[in-house]
Structure formats: structure tokens, C-alpha cells
Amino acid sequence: MSASTSTAAPKRYVLITGCSPGGIGHALALEYHRQGLHVIATARRLEVIEDLRALGMTTLRLDVTDKEAIRSARDEIDELTGGRLDVLINNAGYGYTVAVTDMHLEDVRNLFETNVIAPVAMVQAFAPMLIASGDGRIVQLGSIAGFAPIPFGAAYNMSKAALMALSNTLRVEMAPFNVKVVHAIVGRVKTEIVKPRSIPVDSLFRPMEEVFQAKRIGVSQEGAMPADELARELVPETLRSHPKRWVWAGGQTWIPWFFYTFLGQPGFDWLMRKMFGFSEFSGVCIDGEPKLIPV
């Protein structure tokens, strides 16, 4: 692991995982830096965050699924900060867009390793430093997927639901040490997390291929908030003396908030079927005709 550090006197230290360009972590790094914190930005490949180092941030190569890499990062950060850390941002994660019946279980396990187990490992490694700061913060980058039944996203949905449960439990456990836990429920954001993928040819859902391709990117990016705007919205909340437990941030979060608050699960189910073309697909299944669904 290699690092580059700023010589400027730090005010407060924030560690952010998953800072590759085009994502939320990169935008958060820039905003915390703008707010005057000493940012420790990490990514699997150090060269992709060279722009952050050039701005005076500390940059570390870190694979959050590698316990030895986490241990090494902890030791280096401990030396840099004098044994304290003010804010830990668990942001690193990725999606897996496939129907439950088409999932490869090893892919699901790998996703959970990054999206759920890694945040636990990071908290375990850095809890003493957060406590030492006297007013530590743990910020978990969750998603509306944590409670919305988004089709073809069950693996990601499950991981974000688990992360929410982790945040809520951790908030209670860390309260005696004055470490506050903020769970960000992120809505639509313009990032590079949506990757090209087709429905397998032998899938039950192959007749939905056309609408799948149109909806999966269209729905996720319609009304999406730029990542830098999300960062400007989220960062100040995490630095408040008494931050909110849950922070709804990102584009069109009012929609899932409304359904979650007033209409419950039946409302969510109806909304997801409508948004992703499952109402039409039900007709195809009843007819028994393997035809493509019009967009």
C-alpha cells in the first residue's frame, strides 16, 4: 500500500472508502475537502484518485474486502492522525442486476462481502480511533433499495437492507462512546454504478429484455441528482452536532418516502410493477406467448 499526504495542518480527519471518479465517494471527498477537513480518500487503484492527491488530500490504496489491507490502512492512518479519526464514511459498494431465479450465488456472496461485511470490518478496525476523537461519526451510504422491492435488484436490495439494520444497531451500541451513526438513504444519483447487462437467454424473464434495457437505466437516471449536489446536501448534515439518524438524499427520494410512510408494502409493490413493466409481463405470462413487451 502506498500513500501521499498533505503537509497542511489538519483540522478534522475523514476517511472515505470507494472514491473512484464518477461515484459518490469522489464527490464526498471533494466536498469534505471544501469544508476544511483533512480527507483520507481510498480506492482499489491509487492512480484513479490522483486528482484528489493533487488537491492535497491523503490517498490510500485499499480493497475493503482484504483484512490485511484494512489493517495496514489503519496503522498508516493511526500514525498520520495521532490515533484519532473524526468521520468514517462506508461508501464502497456495487450492484448486481439480475432476477432472483437467475442469480449466481457466488456473485451474491461477493456482493455481500463488499456491501455488508466490509463496513463491519471497517468499523471494527477504526472504532478505537473514532472513540478517541471524542465526537466520532460513522456514515453509511445506504439506498432506497434497502426497503423498495426494485425488480432485478434483489441482491443489492438485500445488502442495503442489511446495511440499514447494521446502522441502526450500531447507533445504539456506539452511543455510550459518543460516536454518532448516520444512515444515508440515497435516491437517484448520476453515477457509474449501472453497468450494461442483459437478461440471460434461458431466463424466465427473457421476454422482458427490451423493456428491461429501457427501464433499468431510464428509471434509475430519471430525475437523478448529480453526485456533487448530493455531497453538498449530505456532508453538512454529517457534521452537525446532532445529525439526523436517517438522511434522505438524492433525486426523487420523496417518492419512496411517501410510499413507505403512507401506503406501505402493497403500495410499493404496485409502484415497482408499474415502473418496471411487470403489469404488462403478467399479461404475457397468462397468454403463454414468449413475445417481447413493447416499451
CATH number of 3-202+224-262: 3.40.50.720
Confidence bin at 295 (pLDDT 50/70/90): very low
- Write down the pLDDT at residue 221: 65
- For residue 250, the model assigns a pLDDT of 86
E strand or H helix at 108:
helix 105-112
CA atoms within 13 A on the CB side of 105: 0
pLDDT category at 194 given cuts 50, 70, 90 is low
Report the distance separating Cα 198 and Cα 255, nearest Å: 27
pLDDT of residue 218 exceeding 70: no
Q: Which residue has the cell 499526504?
A: 5
Residue 101's closest CA among 150, 155, 148? 155
- Tell me the pLDDT of the chain averaged across its residues: 88
pLDDT of 192 > 80? The answer is no
| 34 in Cβ contact with 59 (< 8 Å) | no
pTM for the model stands at 0.88
Provide Rg for the chain, Cα atoms: 20
User: Using an 8 Å Cβ cutoff, are 225 and 190 in contact?
Assistant: yes
What DSSP string runs through 192-239?
S--------TTSTTGGGHHHHHHHHHHHHHTTPEEHHHHHHHHHHHHT
* DSSP category for residue 251: B
Whether 1 shows a pLDDT value over 60: the answer reads: no
Task: Name the more confident of 235 and 218.
Answer: 235
User: How much is the pLDDT for 211?
Assistant: 74
pLDDT reading at 137 higher than 50? yes
pLDDT at residue 172 in the model: 98
Q: Cell 450492484 belongs to which residue?
A: 95
Residues with catalytic roles: 156, 160
- Amino acid at site 292: L
- Give the three-state DSSP class for 133: coil
| 183 pLDDT higher than 70 | yes
- 70 touches 9 (CB < 8 A): no
- Residue ranges per structural domain of the chain: 3-202+224-262
pLDDT score of 4 more than 90 = no
When pLDDT is averaged across residues 272-277 and rounded to a whole number, the result is 77
17: β partners: none
Cβ contacts of residue 4 below 8 Å, gap of 6+? 53, 58, 59
- Torsion sign over Cα 54, 55, 60, 62: negative
pLDDT tops 80 at residue 291: no
**Mean of the pLDDT values across residues 43-57?**
97
SS3 43: strand
